[in-house]
Amino acid sequence: MLRRRLQLEAAAHLLARTGFTVGEVAVEVGYATPEAFAKAFRAAYGVSPRQFRANGELNHRLETKSGIHFHPSEIIVRRQGARTMTLTETLFHHNDYAVTELLEAVESLTDGQLDSKR
């Protein structure tokens, strides 16, 4: 169930932020056919992949009690190489992505702002 939800969240992210066709998204996230993907997507999101994209929805997260969600860094890493990553590699790349985002966010702060306790 976790794996399928993460696949669908990755698909929703791709639909919202890329020009990939629905078929390309289906293959990218691991579905054997676009039809199987569309059926699973509709069951999870309540709309077809095309409708999701047309609605301009940017939130790819599905409700879950675990709090574990797909993160875009997983796609970035997977598209750079065709092999499956280990959990350790996935966590490392996620951490690298998050640290880079933080560093870019604080880049414009002054030394005084960085030293502030607030």
Domain count, the chain: 2
Contact 14, 29 (CB under 8 A): yes
**pLDDT at residue 50 is higher than 90:** yes
1 shares its domain with 59: yes
Looking at the fold, whether 39 and 85 belong to one and the same domain comes out as no
The reported pLDDT for the residue numbered 87 is 56
Query: Token pair 């640290």 is at which residue?
Result: 99
23 against 96, higher pLDDT = 23
Q: Mean per-residue pLDDT for 42-69?
A: 88
My answer on whether 79 and 106 are in the same domain is yes
Q: Would you say residue 82 has pLDDT above 50?
A: no
Give the range of the structural domain holding residue 75, as residue numbers without chain letter: 71-118
pLDDT for the residue 22: 94
Q: Is the pLDDT of residue 102 over 60?
A: yes
Helix, strand, coil tally for the chain in percent (to 5): 65, 0, 35
The answer to whether residues 14 and 59 belong to one domain is yes
Here the CATH number for the domain that contains residue 37 is: 1.10.10.60
- Tell me the pLDDT of the chain averaged across its residues: 80
Q: Determine the pLDDT at residue 95.
A: 67
Percent share of the chain, pLDDT over 90: 31
